[in-house]
Chains A and B, each alone.
Chain A
């Protein structure tokens, strides 16, 4: 299964990549074979990191909230934050940090303004549970949920350049950027970079 096809397609071959929250390394394996990279990963869960290293992958157990500061600027061609920014303690600080460390940063996240989510809150008056956001309100790791509009506002405020975007809706169907993605897409992908010096 090509679970990470959208992101993979944005990565140039033989690039230096860092994957944040890489888990047991499924994404790294796919990326390494599809784009001939020697990607590195970071994850906080020792059990998952153990699995990833056992697969011969280059992964560091560490906390994205605190341990990214160790990397020098522009260490990577791409930094990938797939479905993790909303679980960070300070998402803004992490984004500002990674646009320094990577020439390109790919951020993907569940869009909280997705129509079925809006309808659930409106009609049931309860926190929505979807395939992408399956948790109860009390055990959700997603402590900083946001929307596509929120993210774009943030990029504008921080002078972050958005170079690519991709939206998927119900059943992972692609949603064109002109078709109100903030309403119709469940998941969003952005490629961003810091200001050119």
Chain B
């Protein structure tokens, strides 16, 4: 099946400033794709090129097999978009706002629109300017979701939402996936990404560094291993083991960082009187942070 989103050599420069460089990825139909990266990495630039609000310096982006630039209107008919930063009409109420966007999108099911408002717990009778930040986000979410688009492009969608709102949002994402719709999601909330995404792309300093399934990312991470022995053990014995990178020894304890298989460590530990063996599974957060620290260090070395 043809990918819903496909980018080839996508590059954007803002004058002398870097935007993104040679970004290439594909998002399959029915997939929830998470797009991660620190502030200024190029997430929003990528999304805005997909939506044709900014034009790529080089490369192409295709959505539903159509060129994101020349066929933007045809693409937008099937897209629901929530920008990371936005403003709507201050003087309109929430209902008037979603009604107006329902006319612009077309094909909105009023019952579904009302259901979204009820599930997100937002009072649409208030003026937009009187809403809190979270409620403004909810109104914008309704405008993006209400026409049941084939592709949802969401830039920091849960920003400002309370925990209940986040739960509802995740449930809506699950329902979108169950309906076979595709989601492209930029987020800083790693738990949200872990719980909702099939695959994750990580962008740093404008370059897409990793694209992998969420579970695989976790496997690629380092395991923090703690060994407690009955007697003293030297660190040197473990340092040479394959996959072991950092060893700190404190009396009868060893703290190791292990990448890949655990077997060599287990065998080496078994030669001693082992009291306790703790291996902590890394979270996505830890992987993400480790990945970025490594990237930053490498960049510093290059600099």
Q: Do A and B come from one complex?
A: no
Interface positions of B (Cβ within 8 A of A): none
